Structure 1
Amino acid sequence: MTHPHSPSLVPFGPSGALVRSVVVPFDPDTSPDPLSRFGLEVPERWKTVDRSAHAPRIVAVPGEDGADRVAAALVTARPRTGYLKIVDVVGDVRAAVGAVVAQAREQGLVQVKWEGWTASPEDAAAAGFAPLRPPAVPPEDGAGPDTGYVRWLCDGAGTEPPYYRQTTHFTCGAVTALVAQAHAGTPPVEGEVLDREAELTLWRGATNFPACEPVGLGVAVRRAWPTSPVTVHLDTDLPVLLDHYPAEEQEWRALLQRTSRTEAGRIGVPVDASRLPLAGIRSAIGRREHVLLLVSLVGMQGFDVPHWVLCHGVVPGAVVIEDPWAHAVAGDTWVDAHMLPVPDASLDTMSAMSSASVDGFRGAVTIGRPQGSDTSGHLGDAHTS
């Protein structure tokens, strides 16, 4: 699964019809206007953020005479993922969207998303897109559109969880657990909503100050949901996520991690010392379990920061995740982070964590269906092409 970085022609469309499109890199500082030769104009809103980290490109569709372009779309995507995102369209909307879908098919991608800055529900539906559930908390001004759409180019993505963006830089672990349980229909307290109070409450029980390490997170999840089977997967018995602290700061956090292991044994949370393989993640999801997975953001965002994501669906060649964080300054929004397909090989690399004291490790927490619960409907029908 790759993304284009140079001009190309796509000789087929989403329904088998001939579609010819030109793909060129997009640089908002280019002079003259990069769309001027297409008889179109770059909207000012396309230039408001630096999207260079996500390979911005213009997909332009020629007119019948092959000269002027009748439509163009601004397209981006996180690196090492399995989708394309339409940021916006000018000209003939359906022609441009059809060309992007053709591009995605030609590259072997599994999904196309469309941010709802100017997209109408009617145009989205006509192009085969379904609306995404809006975020549980509306995006701040300029941080993302209020609406978004998705078109799957394969079967089997599963049902859509709610999207909730973490409100701090350190509560990703707590948010992934809360979203997993909301997806499973099991809030911590009957009637509790997915909000900042729930986020911070669960984080407070899981934190290793301020990050959540795998064992502490697993213990907190089991305490919050006593009927949910929980297993921690961590292929090292050494403390983790401590390298950036001075020695005196590492010592007491390491002590807390050992305490978490003791507590895990006391309340019956298994700590599996073998590495959880990608096949194991797929199998867990197939059993209607959720997998909280520790990854590095260096592949998708360009900086090596440990981060928790939720694995909740599988499609051919990729795992569908929820990422509770989006890099708004790079044009990355909740539309990117929600229902995000990551190829197996990419996810395998992202979740191979490095540490000065540990020669590589993988951390994960699997959460099973609550004992005695009805598991029907969790992986319901997906929106497909």
Structure 2
Amino acid sequence: MAAPQETPVRNVVVPFEPGTTPAPLRHLGHDEVVARWHSVDRSAQAPHIVAVQGDEGEEWTAAALVTARPHTAYLKIVDAVGDVPAAVEAVAAHARGLELAQIKWEGWTASAESAAAAGFLPLRHPLAQSAGAAGPTTGYVRWLGDAAVTEPPYYGQSTHFTCGAVTALVAQTQAGAMAREALDRRAELTFWRDATNFQACEPVGLGVAVRRAWPSSPVAVHLDTDLPVMLGHLSESEQEWRACLQRMSRDDADGIGVPIDPRHLSVAAIRDAVERGEHVLLLVSLAGMQGFDVPHWVLCHGTAPGAVVIEDPWANAATGDTWVDAHLLPVADASLDAMSAVSPDGFHGAVTIGRPEPGDASAGGPAGE
């Protein structure tokens, strides 16, 4: 007697349209979950539904809302409904088909037990979420291949201009040069005050501030222009005095032994530095990930096949972006290289921080007032 044939599982991927809910999704119930899916305009993050079809082919037995920042190498499950394990495995198959490095799962409805059963690891609770971005209290990650990543603390910047300060503080916290409990708003603003070019942090000033705060940490600045940077949006008179401050920062760098490499730090060099246990504070444009061309600092701290893993201290709540997106974020090598060319002149800026020498740990972090 012939063995009965199993009905193959059929996964479908359909766009998630604002204001509409597919009939098979409505039949699964969970109206309060679907209402959250519609609560913000997620269109900038290519929202789509990954669903599992039933035996009849018309009904769904499971579905997940999936989003991701553009030009990155992950997918994020906002929620899964119905047969949740089947929905999650459908997302994993979808991500593998796209050759992505990772999937994440926001903790709105996911339990620690269901996440662990699906092969996810819990993310550490954020020390702070970025201003205005109230994400879930929990989140989970599942790597789809080999990844050399140790999880740093996640800290969201409390202002629109302290990204450089936060990336430096997170780097030094992960390196053991600063105690985790010292990473707070006071430390953020104290370090920003030492590094700022009013209001942003430019590469040389940021590198000088790191060296001053942690004298035993090797620091190098990488900046492929001799001209003042990040001033094009200001009037001529406003540019003049900030340019003067940047020249002073170069003098300070020379005085305390912070080298300034005039070459573009390539993604290959970033990967090499990270794999040696160093941290790279990288200046990028947000045009690719967020849709507006604003200079922004991120921290490169891990690698995955074909991608560099970053920490982004800012999440864009208006698009459904949360700390789960911004934390342990893999960006494909080519995409990261494109992001690192900062308009309008396409310059490149970065600060590399080596392993602190013994005795450099500071329980209090940067000096306060």
Residue of 305, 314, 318 corresponding to 2:307: 318
Per-residue CA deviations over 1:53-110 (Å, capped at 9, x if unaligned) read: 0011111101233331111100000000000000011111101001000000011001
Deviation of 1:18 (Å): 5.7
Residue identity in the other structure for 1:303: F
Identify the residue that residue 290 of structure 1 maps to in structure 2: 279
1-structure distance, mates of 2:184, 2:334: 33
Alignment of 1:285-364 (within 5 A): 285-355=274-344, 359-364=345-350
1:29 pairs with 2:19: yes
Identify the residue that residue 195 of structure 1 maps to in structure 2: 184
Identify the residue that residue 6 of structure 1 maps to in structure 2: none
Q: Judge conservation of contact 1:139–1:145 (CA < 8 Å) in 2.
A: no
Alignment of 1:226-265 (within 5 A): 226-265=215-254
RMSD (Å), alpha carbons:
1.8
Residue identity in the other structure for 1:114: W
2-structure distance, mates of 1:321, 1:191: 18
Provide the TM-score with structure 1 as the length reference.
Answer: 0.88
Q: Judge conservation of contact 2:293–2:343 (CA < 8 Å) in 1.
A: no
Deviation of 1:40 (Å): 2.4
Alignment of 1:153-192 (within 5 A): 153-187=144-178
Identify the residue that residue 101 of structure 2 maps to in structure 1: 110
Alignment of 1:33-182 (within 5 A): 33-36=21-24, 39-41=27-29, 43-137=34-128, 143-182=134-173
Deviation of 1:138 (Å): 5.7
Deviation of 1:372 (Å): 3.5
Alignment of 1:7-22 (within 5 A): 19-22=9-12
**Misfit runs of 4+, over 6 Å:** 139-142
Compare 64-73 and 245-254 and name the one that shifted more: 64-73
Cα–Cα, structure 1 residues 309 and 35, in superposed 2: closer, same or farther, change >3 Å?
farther
Provide the TM-score with structure 2 as the length reference.
Answer: 0.92
2-structure distance, mates of 1:63, 1:266: 70
Task: Show structure 2 runs of 5+ residues with no match.
Answer: 1-6, 361-369
Give the length in aligned residue pairs: 351
Per-residue CA deviations over 1:121-163 (Å, capped at 9, x if unaligned) read: 1110111000001101267897200000000001123110000
Per-residue CA deviations over 1:252-302 (Å, capped at 9, x if unaligned) read: 000000000000000000000111111110111111000000000000000
Determine helix, strand or coil for the equivalent of 2:10. coil
Cα–Cα, structure 1 residues 196 and 127, in superposed 2: closer, same or farther, change >3 Å?
same
1:204 pairs with 2:190: no
Deviation of 1:360 (Å): 2.2
2-structure distance, mates of 1:153, 1:108: 9
Q: Judge conservation of contact 1:320–1:341 (CA < 8 Å) in 2.
A: yes
2-structure distance, mates of 1:331, 1:257: 36
Identify the residue that residue 369 of structure 1 maps to in structure 2: 355
Identify the residue that residue 10 of structure 1 maps to in structure 2: none
Deviation of 1:19 (Å): 4.1
Q: Judge conservation of contact 1:59–1:75 (CA < 8 Å) in 2.
A: yes
Residue identity in the other structure for 1:34: P
2-structure distance, mates of 1:139, 1:166: 5
